[in-house]
Amino acid sequence: MMFQYSDEDLIAGLRQRNSSYIDFLYQEFFPIVRHHLLHNSGTHQDGEDLFHDGLIVLYNRIQTEPFKLECSLKTYFTAICKNLWLQRLERRYKLIYHAECEVQEEPAEYVTEDHDPTEQNLEQQRLFHKNLMQLPVECRRLLQLYCLKIPYREIAKLLKYKDEVYVKTRKYSCKKMLRKKIIKDPECDQFIKHHGSRNVR
């Protein structure tokens, strides 16, 4: 049997990035997002991605205090996802799109805020995360420690590397591996088209 959480509980749980609340949100909200997408030129995978991005936007929103809901969280989340999908469709296909609301409630007013990540940024972050997760565990750990500003000497001890120089070299190679993976990912095309060419591989 699944627990029922109030909107306030869900917001508090998401604010702490609590896994059980995120699970609950997925089970409750994902079907709505998927339904919306399947009826609006989207696929199941688009639904997964949109739910992912919508939750990131919601997470960013609830970090700013005070956060006040003027409708149910479900309606609010659905509005975020619809807005994102609208932007994505416009960017991808340049189509005119009219949203319909499947949630049997009044549609929520949704205005993109300045600190919201852009739709394109969300997609880029997803691309980075996907490729980061494909790196060897040791590389991921090394990059994490480096980003935590742990001194090279400490990293060498933690990962049992022979010295700092090796840590540095390894860090470069891991970073390079990640960069190459990202650039080779077909989804990366849209982000680098203004910055270079993919011909040289």
- If one asks whether residue 55 binds another protein (CB under 8 A), the answer comes out as yes
* x/- map, 154-183, another protein, by CB under 8 A: ------------------xx-xx-xx--xx
Residue found by looking up tokens 């390079």 in the block = 176
CA distances from 194 to 53, 90, 118 (A): 23, 18, 17
HSE-CB at 62 with a 13 A cutoff on CA atoms is 22
Among 35, 52, 61, 74, binds another protein (CB under 8 A): 52
- If one asks whether residue 132 binds another protein (CB under 8 A), the answer comes out as yes
Q: How far is the CB of 141 from another protein (least distance, A)?
A: 12
Does residue 201 contact residue 184 with C-beta atoms inside 8 Å?
A: yes
- If one asks whether residue 35 binds another protein (CB under 8 A), the answer comes out as no
Tell me how far apart the alpha carbons of residues 120 and 199 are, in angstroms, rounded to a whole number: 23
Name the burial class of residue 167, with classes exposed (0-12), middle (13-18) and buried (19+) by CB atoms within 10 angstroms of its CB.
buried
Q: How far is the CB of 80 from another protein (least distance, A)?
A: 14
Residues in touch with another protein (CB under 8 A): 17, 19, 22-23, 25-27, 30, 48, 51-52, 55-56, 59, 124-126, 128-129, 132-133, 143-144, 147-148, 172-173, 175-176, 178-179, 182-183, 188, 191-192, 195-201
